[in-house]
Amino acid sequence: MRIAGITGITKGPVWRASRAAVKRRKVQTFVIGLVVALSAMSAVLGLGLLQASNGPFEQVFGQQNGAHAVVAFNGARTTEQQLAATAHASGVTGASGPFQSAQVSFAMGLGGGTRQATVVGRPQPGSGDVDRVHLWQGRWATAPGEIVLNQPVGLPYYDSSPASGGPAAASTVTGPGLPTLTIVGYAYSISATADGWVAPSQISALHPDHLQMLYRFSSSATDAQVKADVATATAGLPAGAVTGFQSWRTTRAEMVAKLESLLPMMIAFGVLAVSVAVLIVLNVVSGAVVSGYRDIGVFKTIGFTPRQVVRVYVATMAVPAVIGTVVGVPLGNVVAAPLLEKAFMSLGGAPMVSLLTNAVCLLGVPLVVGLAAYVPARRAAGMSAIAAISAGSAPKRGRGLKVQRKLAGSRLPRSVSMGLGLPFARPARSALTFAAVLIGVTTVVFANGLARTMTDFSAASDRTGAVAFDIGHDPARPATKDAAAMEQAIRATPGVDGVALTSGDMVGVTGMTSAISVQYYGGDSAKMGWTLVKGHWLNGPDQVVAPARFLNLHHLAIGQSLTVQADGRSVRAVIVGEGITGGDSSLDADWSVLQQLSPGRQADGFEVHAAAGADKKALAAKLQALDSSWNVSIRDYGNPNAEMQVFSAVITLVLSLVAALGVFNTVLLNTRERRRDLGMLKSVGMTPRQVVVMIVTSMGMLGLLGGIVGLPLGYGLHALVVPLMEHAQGLDMTSNMVHVYSAPLLAWMFLAGVGIAVLGALVPARSAARSSIAEVLRSE
C-alpha cells in the first residue's frame, strides 16, 4: 500500500502539478533553495555553538580518554611490576603506565627564562587505554636528544629572533645539568600529564625522581570519589609509595576557567543563528504559498481536492528544501569547524559538530519548510475556488487599505506614500521580514561592540605601542655583560626612550597556602603602558599591583597590605593598584621588594620603550649587537582575539545575508502578487524609478523599524554578555572597554537595518520596474 501510494504521488496529477510549478517559477525555486541552504548552514552553526558550549571540556576529555587521576609514586618504595598490577584493581576501568618521570628546570619561552617542567618517558602518544595524547605537529620522540612539548594546538613555545622582527618557534630546550634536547613535535594532553615527553631511553639522563600512573575509574564525579578510588587501587602497595595525585576535576576547573568567558558569546550567537534560520524559512515558504493562492483556486476549479492542493504545495516546497538542506548542512560544518577550533584552542582540540546536530538539521529544516508550507496551503485549500482566486489577486480588505488611504492623503510623494502602505497589505509577512531584519541589526550591533571590547582589552593587556622590545638572557650562552652593564648599554642606544628591569619569582604570602608568582619591575616601568582599573601603577618602594582575580579570591582591596616571604626574609607591601589581567596567584611588585627579599639580585630581562618614529627592526639589530647572550625580540604578540573577531564577523555576515535574502524573497513575492497593480500604475504614468522608490520604501520602512528596535537590543545584549565574560574570567575592565559605542558608531549601525532591507529589495524592485505594461496585463 505504501509503495502504491508513493507511485501515485510521483506519477499522478499532484506530482505533475508540483513539477510544473517548480519549472515555471525558477527564480522563486532558486531563492527558496538558496535561503534554505543558508538557513540550514545557520542552523548547523547555531546548534553547533550551543552544543559546543555545553561541556566542551568533557567532549575533548572523552575524545582523548583522559585520566581521572594522575598519580605519582616513589620509585624507591615500589616496583614497576607492582604499579602495573594496580591497573586491575577494583573500580579501575583503564590505566596507562608506569612511566618514569622527572622534575626539571628548562630554559624555554620568550626571553630565555626558566620554568619547572615535568618530563615523562613515554614510548608513544597513544600507548595504553588512558590519555591518548594528541600529536598535532611533528613526530613523537623516539631517540635520545629529542623531546615533544605539551602545548595546545597552534601555540608553540616562543624564542626571540630579531632577524625575523618577532617571535619564532623554539627549536631546543635545555637546563642546568641537562642535555640539550631538540623539539621534534608538539602534542597535547588535556589531562595535563606532562610538560614534555621523551623516549624511555632518554629519561635516565634527566634524573627521574618518580613514577607515573594514569587511571580511569568507574566512579569519578567528585574529587572525593577520585581520592577514594586512588586509595583502593593503591591499597596493596608499600607504605609511602604514593607521593601525590591530581584529580581530573582540578584540571577541568583550570581549563574551563579559560573557556567560560567565551560561552556567553557563543550561546548568544547560537540562539541568534537558529532564530534567524527558522524565521526566514517561515517567511519565505509561507509567503510563497500565500502568493500562489490564485493558482490554488485554479487547481480547485479543475477538480483538485483540498488534500491534493496541500500535497502540491508541500511537494513544490520540498524540492528546493531538500536540495538546500543537503547543500547547507555540509557548508555549516565547513564554516563551524575552524571557528570551533579557534574558540577551543586552549583545550588542544575542538568539539566538532556532532552527528546528532547534523541529523537534527537534515531532518528538521525540511520539516520546518513542510510545516511552513502546510499551514497556509491547508487554509487556502479550505476556501472556495472563487475565494482563493480573489485572495491571490489582492490583499485582504481591512486595516491595510485604511492605512494606505490615509497615507494617500498625505503630502508625501505618491511613490513614497504607496510604498509606506505596502507592508500593511500583508502584515504577517511583514512581521516575519521585520523580525529577520531585527535579528540582523541586533547581530551587527552586538558583534561590533564585542569586537571593540576584545580589541581594546587585548591592546591594554599586551601594552601595544608602549613596550617595543623584550630582552632576556639566554642561559645557554655565557654573558659578556651583566644585567647592570646591559641596562646602561641599552639606555645609551639611540632610539631608546625608556628601560624597565624585570625579574620573576615564586614567593609565599602570609595567610595564603599556595605559592604566588611575582613579577618585579624597576627602572622606567611607568612608561610601559600599564592600564589599571583602579589605583595607580608602582611609583614607590614596597608597593604591589594585583589583578582582580587575586583581590576577589583573597578578599583584599587597594590600600591593604601583604607580607611577602622568600628565602627566610619578608617584606610588608601595600596594594596600590588593580590590574586588568592576571590570575588568582600572581602579583606585580616594585623592584625594592625584590632587593629586600634577595639583596643584590640583578634583572633577568628588560622591557624597552622606543622613541617616537624609531625604526624597530634597525633598533632591534643595534640592541642585539650589544651582547649576543641577551636575546632581543620585537614585542608583537599579534591580536590574541583575532580568531574571535573573525568568528563574530562570519556570524554577522551569515545572519545579515540570510536576513537580506528574506527581504529579497518578500519583495519578489510582493511584486509577483501585485504585478497587475504595478502594470496599472505604470499604464497611468508611474515611471520605473517611481516603482523602484515605492518598493524600496516599503522595505526601507521595515529596515528603519528594525534599526530602531535592534539597536537597543544589540546594545543590551552586549551589556549583558560582556559582564558575564568578565565574571567568568575573574576580570575587571575599564569603563572605556565596556562602553565602546560612540554616537557616530550607533548612527552607522542604526542604518544597518535600512541597508539590509534596501539591499534585499533593490534587485527585485528593479526587475519589476523593467517589466513592460503589455506583458504584465497579458499575463492576467
The pLDDT value given to residue 379: 74
Percent of the chain surpassing pLDDT 90: 5
For residue 643, give the nearest of 262, 110, 347, 357 by alpha carbon.
262
Query: In one letter, which amino acid is 261?
Result: S
DSSP, res 570: E
DSSP-derived pairing of the beta strands 146-150 and 158-159? unpaired
For residues 662 and 282, is the Cβ–Cβ distance under 8 A? no
Cα(373)–Cα(321) distance, integer angstroms: 11
Q: Which residue has the higher pLDDT, 222 or 498?
A: 498
Q: How many CB atoms lie within 10 A of CB 479?
A: 15
CA 154 to chain centre: 15
Helix (H) or strand (E) holding 511: none
Compute and round to an integer the Cα radius of gyration of the chain.
34
Q: CA-based angle 90:94:100, to the nearest 5?
A: 105
pLDDT digits (tens, 9 = 90+) for 421-457: 777 777 776 777 777 777 778 877 887 887 788 777 7
Cα(412)–Cα(760) distance, integer angstroms: 24
The pLDDT value given to residue 574: 93
pLDDT digits (tens, 9 = 90+) for 275-294: 766 776 776 666 666 666 66
**Percent helix, strand, coil in the chain (nearest 5)?**
55, 20, 25
The pLDDT value given to residue 166: 37
The pLDDT value given to residue 689: 82
Give burial (CB, 10 Å; 0-12/13-18/19+) of 193: buried
The packing angle between helices 13-24 and 2-11, to 10°, is 40
User: Three-state secondary structure along 125-161?
Assistant: CCCCCCCCCEEEEECCCCCCCEEEEECCCCCCCEECC
DSSP, res 706: H
pLDDT digits (tens, 9 = 90+) for 477-512: 666 788 888 889 999 999 888 999 998 888 888 877
Cα(175)–Cα(196) distance, integer angstroms: 14
Note the CATH architecture for domain 469-634.
Answer: Beta Barrel (2.40)
* Nine cell digits for residue 221: 564525579
- B/e letters for 154-170, b = 16+ CB within 10 Å, e = fewer, are eebbbbbbbeeebbeeb
The pLDDT value given to residue 573: 92
Cα(759)–Cα(13) distance, integer angstroms: 39
| Phi, psi of 178, rounded to the nearest 5 degrees | -115, 150
Predicted confidence band of residue 691 (pLDDT cuts 50, 70, 90): confident
Helix (H) or strand (E) holding 552: helix 548-554
pLDDT digits (tens, 9 = 90+) for 372-423: 778 777 776 676 766 665 555 555 555 556 666 676 667 777 777 777 777 7
Average pLDDT of the chain is: 77
Helix, coil or strand: residue 447: helix
Cα(222)–Cα(98) distance, integer angstroms: 24
Cα(688)–Cα(529) distance, integer angstroms: 59
| Phi, psi of 588, rounded to the nearest 5 degrees | -115, 130
Q: Which residue has the higher pLDDT, 481 or 643?
A: 481
pLDDT digits (tens, 9 = 90+) for 162-217: 333 333 445 777 776 778 888 888 888 888 888 889 999 888 888 888 899 999 99
Among 31-45, 263-277, 702-716, the minimum mean pLDDT is found in: 263-277
Helix (H) or strand (E) holding 498: strand 496-509
The pLDDT value given to residue 511: 77
Cα(173)–Cα(175) distance, integer angstroms: 7
Over 70: is that where the pLDDT of 711 sits? Answer: yes
Q: Which residue has the higher pLDDT, 637 or 368?
A: 368
pLDDT digits (tens, 9 = 90+) for 124-150: 887 667 888 888 888 898 888 899 988
Rounded to two decimals, the pTM is: 0.62
For the chain, give every domain's residue range. 18-53+262-392, 65-258, 394-464+640-780, 469-634
Over 90: is that where the pLDDT of 693 sits? Answer: no
For residues 150 and 196, is the Cβ–Cβ distance under 8 A? yes
Mean per-residue pLDDT for 330-359? 73
The pLDDT value given to residue 347: 60
